[in-house]
Chain A
Amino acid sequence: MMANHWPLWRRQIAAIVRLEVRKSLFHRRALILYLLALAPVLLVALLANIHPTLVRTSAVLDATGHYVRERTVVQRHGPLQDPAVAPLVFADLYNAMILRSVVFFGCVWIFMNLFRAELVDRSLHFYFLAAVRREVLVAGKFIAGLVTALTLFSMSTAGALFFYYQARGYDAAMRDIWDGHGMAQVFTYLGMTWLGCLGYGALFLTMGLFFRNPIVPALVVYGWEWLNFLLPPVLKKISIIHYLTSLSRVPLPEGGAAIVAVPTPAYISIPGLVVMTGVLLYLASRRIRSMEINYGGEA
């Protein structure tokens, strides 16, 4: 009869997660993550509370269309106060700052560190000497990285959303959240952040195990994800950002040079990202089975 290992594996994973989350969230190396997560919140807060004064001049014409004089108009500019453009502005901010910068670079930092940092600290052999299956170690470390990423970047997204709604005032914000599409929008943005952490996390964890110098592949992935709008529809599908932006409730204009592709429906995007994560974790587990430690080349 086959023994049921799940209770043991669950306990082991829980122990690894506890250990790793403490290291990921409270180590000195995490400081850069806090700064990264805070940056978009600060910027949205500034945008919500500081309204730059715009001065523009226009010509005043008479009834016959002749120039009479120049008129100077002073306007207070607050794009997040304007309900007509605010969703588009926030979607743009979220896409550029949170999804493509904070989540991407944050996941590079968190998930590549999971194994590479152990090699630098010369402590990976402690895990390998313990009576833990290596697949369990991969699962534990991935969940720990995911907990760290989700905690930080969900807070970052929630903070940015808070200031986005704060810009419009309490009454208008509450009306939008409870009576309009606000709540669905909040959960869509949070969901995109979570799925981004899941997909990028699995990708960079696997890269960290396959490449001694994962910066080069990370750079290639970064370029690929940024140039996604230029790719033909078939190639767009070989990226994470395409599935994430497909979930957005506010379609973003991608510029004149972009090749337009039909967004992938949520019922394909979400399971697709989950399946991709599973495949990448399987590859990582296969890789770690035959992994040998060589501390010599790491520093």
Chain B
Amino acid sequence: MGLNERRYVPYAGPTTATWSRFLVLSRYALRDVLRERLVVLLLVVSGIYPLGAALLIYARYNLGFLALLNIQSADRFLPPIGVSFFEVLLVVQGVLAFFLTLFIAPPMIARDLANNGLALYLCRPLSRFEYVIGKMTALLWLLTCTTWLPGLLLWSLQAGMAGGGWGADHLRILLGIVVGSWLWMMVLALLAFAISAWVRWKLAAKAALLGVFFIPSIFGNVIDARFATHWGRLLNLLELMRVTCGGLFGNYTAGESVVAVYSNGQAIDVVVRDIPQWSAWAVLAVLCATCVLMLSRKVRAYEAVRG
């Protein structure tokens, strides 16, 4: 072909379907994340507790194994497999999911924003929403491996080994595992992304995320102790998760507890009511809405900086 015949020819090969374009971003984000040794280490660590739990479930229904450990009665020596067992699993895995988010999420979005790289994404057929979802999907994949997937596997193992309709009788646990995990995953992902988008620096975003997790909970504890109330728990993210997940598992009732307070030099016992479930859901909803608002303000290709 002569040089004078060369001209622009548009790409005619197969294109990625519009609905799945955001997955391209998550594929590359996942590849970058899994290069970090710390992330791989955290993923391995997050498998330890479910593995131990699986061994426990296996041991309960295996007479040979019980005999090997010289255990006469499984009920006396091994913890019961019920709502509390799966609730504890969710809390432990939830804490690990937080640390995973702490190390994964901030670099994903802060680098693009700090280096004005967002324009390079958004000049392609990708919307701002798809950009955020694409990045978030990578994080959610990893959090899935930490939270509801092991929970689901353990529930299936227990249902299979217990038999006798255990699975059908305990569908509420399954609901708690899946919905509770997704709730926690979305809260973590939105919070981490919103902070990273505002701070635009991964180290500062990590510090801020850590601060958001720890500082309000300390202040909440102080409010609870000094004002003889439990409303301070609304500042504690982990407590919010415990209340909402407890509700999903059908294991939470806003009961009353006795708190000792000092008044006129005397210690008196005061009955304090636990926070109602709706308040925990409301705080999480407000938190998520605020994060979405922050993201929509900050995830833009260009920003006019005044002053």
Contact = CB atoms under 8 A, between A and B. Distances in A.
Contact of A36 (B204, B215, B227, B271): B215
Contact of A96 (B38, B204, B222): B222
Interface residues of A, number: 43
A54 B206 contact: no
B226 A93 contact: yes
Interface string B89-118: 000000000000010000100110011000
Nearest to A97: B222
B207 A100 contact: no
Interface in B185-222: 201-204, 206-208, 210-211, 214-215, 218-219, 221-222
Contacts of B240: none
Interface stretch (B8-16, B174-182, B260-268): B260-268
B155 to A, nearest CB: 32
B110 A299 contact: yes
B38 A79 contact: no
B184 to A, nearest CB: 20
A96 B114 CA distance: 35
Interface in A218-238: 218-219, 222
Contacts of A78: 263
Interface string A57-101: 100000000000000000111110010110001001100110011
B229 interface: yes
Given A52-B227, A54-B261, A54-B270, A101 B207 contact: no
A184 interface: no
Contacts of A100: 218
Interface string A18-31: 00000000000100
B115 A299 contact: yes
25 contacts: A32-B208, A36-B215, A39-B215, A43-B219, A47-B226, A47-B227, A52-B228, A54-B270, A55-B271, A56-B268, A56-B269, A76-B263, A79-B226, A82-B262, A93-B226, A96-B218, A96-B221, A101-B219, A112-B207, A120-B201, A214-B203, A215-B206, A218-B207, A218-B210, A299-B110
8 pairs of A and B residues whose beta carbons are closest in the complex: A299-B111, A84-B265, A85-B262, A215-B206, A299-B114, A54-B270, A101-B218, A120-B201
Given A29-B204, A54-B228, A82-B264, 6 more contacts: A32-B208, A54-B263, A77-B228, A82-B263, A105-B211, A215-B203
Interface of B: 38, 102, 107, 110-111, 114-115, 201-204, 206-208, 210-211, 214-215, 218-219, 221-223, 225-229, 261-265, 268-271
Interface of A: 29, 32, 36, 39, 43, 47, 50, 52, 54-57, 75-79, 82, 84-85, 89, 92-93, 96-97, 100-101, 105, 108-109, 112-113, 116-117, 120, 213-216, 218-219, 222, 299
